[in-house]
Amino acid sequence: MELAALYKRVIGLDVHQAQITACALIEEADGTTRMEQRQFGAFKRDRRALASWAAALGPDCVVMESTGIYWKSPYAALEAVGLHAQVVNARHVKNVPGRKTDIGDAQWLATLARAGLLRGSFIPPAPLRELRLIARQRQVLVGQLASEKNRLHKVLTDSGIRLGVVVSDLHGQSARAMVKALIAGQPPHEVIRFASARLKAPRAEIFEALQGDLTASHGFVLQELMHHIEEIEARIARFDARLLAGLADAQSALALLQTVPGVDLIGAAMLLVEIGTDMTAFGNADRLASWVGVCPGNNESAGKRKSGHVRKGNPYVRRLLCEFAHAASRTRSVFKTKFQALTVRRGHKRAIIAIAHKLLRTIFFMLKRGEHYRDSATDYEALSVQRNAPRWIKALTKYGFIAPVSV
């Protein structure tokens, strides 16, 4: 079957680590189609040659596979000469037998692109792509920090110290001060003076929890772990500062997102560098949810609904949304009500994904319309009256609109 051509000049790129195979389909003035195939290396000079060759052809459309991270450098080289390539999912174009060579892949990509059958994924502008590096590395550091904190807890438990039983956060201000005092070799009756008065556990119970057999090896490992934890925390703080500085022009969007339950400043910043502020790039909320991978799967055959597992999407956004969902499920909002209702029927994990889906759709319309979040389960007028009624009554009494109440 011959595919109808929508574009006259297209280029398909099959990108690998060390080689880029290109295939150009050019429709001549007499209606004939000319095919031009080239192979380029992956070094900077090769990418420049690729960009120059592509720009000289003046293509209507350039497509490439999203192969790992190898597409990023060629994409930037093409962008530098004014060509905005479409990055497509390889899974959408690989299901054809007999096209398993690099040249065949590039030719098939060009053929599909010429017929307008490919839809490119969302690629943010270059400034946001650079900030993505910072945001994603920060997520890696947060994971490392959690791992080191858990390891410190295990070493304390191994030494017989049960401080985690009497404090809710072993890395809170007073708990960390007590752990550092233990590492320094201070006895429990001196360590307990670092316990904050806000701790609910009795002092006698805290004193017993500090009793243990802390050997020299325990102390050495705990000291190294504590140094590493504080080093990672300082590094995360530097990443936060750099990330927020890069989003100085998006303060309105950051303030907008922080009105959503469960979203803080850093969470809003990390979400913006992934999805951007222009929602027209996705078209509608359904496509955004599909791109992230938080919407139900679509698998139906012969009228029967099969697996509804979520598809693989953007793991960084999905992780952020799940964190937001856990936080929002503990707030006084419509998300808490929905989470409680879904947990009974579908379980905790499915409820979290559903809340993440709802949060993402809400964020889409907020950014698209430039409106702050307003919770449907909250009576904002009643809250305003409750907060301001004493001040209003005092002012009305002062200026004689109402008579003072006699005691």
The angle at the Cα of 137, spanning 136 to 138, to the nearest 5 degrees, equals 90
- Verify that 70 and 33 share a domain, yes or no: yes
Q: Looking at the domain assignment, is residue 152 inside a domain?
A: yes
> How many other CB atoms sit within 10 Å of the CB of residue 119?
11
Which residue among 66, 91, 121 closes a domain? 121
**How much is the pLDDT for 122?**
87
Which two three-digit tokens encode residue 323? 């964190």
CA distance 229 to 184: 17
Q: Looking at the domain assignment, is residue 106 inside a domain?
A: yes
Which two three-digit tokens encode residue 98? 């007999």
Helix (H) or strand (E) holding 45: helix 44-57
- Verify that 100 and 151 share a domain, yes or no: no
- Verify that 264 and 349 share a domain, yes or no: yes
Answer for the pair 62, 85: CB distance below 8 angstroms, yes or no. yes
The angle at the Cα of 260, spanning 288 to 329, to the nearest 5 degrees, equals 95
Per-residue pLDDT of the chain (407 residues), as tens digits, is 466 778 889 999 988 888 999 999 998 888 888 899 999 998 999 999 999 999 999 999 999 887 788 889 999 999 999 998 989 877 666 655 555 676 778 888 888 888 888 888 888 889 999 999 999 999 999 999 999 999 999 999 998 999 888 888 888 888 999 999 999 988 888 888 888 888 888 888 888 888 888 899 999 999 999 999 999 999 999 999 999 999 999 999 999 999 999 999 999 999 999 999 999 989 899 999 988 988 876 666 666 666 667 777 889 999 999 999 999 999 888 999 999 999 999 899 999 999 999 999 999 999 999 989 888 766 667 777 788 888 888 888 888 888 776 65
**How much is the pLDDT for 151?**
95
Pairing of β 9-15 and β 304-305: unpaired
CA distance 113 to 167: 60
- Verify that 15 and 44 share a domain, yes or no: yes
Q: Looking at the domain assignment, is residue 397 inside a domain?
A: no
Phi-psi region of 168 (alpha: psi -120 to 50; beta: other; left: phi over 0): alpha
Domain of 16 in residue numbering reads as 9-121
- Verify that 154 and 116 share a domain, yes or no: no
- Verify that 240 and 131 share a domain, yes or no: yes
CA distance 109 to 106: 5
Provide the number of structural domains found in the chain: 3
CA distance 195 to 83: 62
- Verify that 187 and 77 share a domain, yes or no: no
Q: Looking at the domain assignment, is residue 385 inside a domain?
A: no
- Verify that 13 and 109 share a domain, yes or no: yes
> How many other CB atoms sit within 10 Å of the CB of residue 260?
24
- Verify that 254 and 364 share a domain, yes or no: yes
- Verify that 232 and 280 share a domain, yes or no: no
- Verify that 174 and 135 share a domain, yes or no: yes
Q: Looking at the domain assignment, is residue 396 inside a domain?
A: no
Q: In what order do the strands lie in the sheet with 61-65?
A: 33-41, 19-27, 9-15, 61-65, 86-88
Q: Looking at the domain assignment, is residue 345 inside a domain?
A: yes
Which residue among 91, 121, 151 closes a domain? 121
- Verify that 223 and 185 share a domain, yes or no: yes
Q: Looking at the domain assignment, is residue 266 inside a domain?
A: yes
Phi-psi region of 98 (alpha: psi -120 to 50; beta: other; left: phi over 0): left
Which CA distances in Å does 44 have to 51, 54, 102, 103, 317? 11, 15, 21, 22, 31
Beta bridge partners of 38: 22
Which residue among 96, 121, 146 closes a domain? 121
Q: Looking at the domain assignment, is residue 105 inside a domain?
A: yes
**How much is the pLDDT for 303?**
65
Answer for the pair 148, 227: CB distance below 8 angstroms, yes or no. no
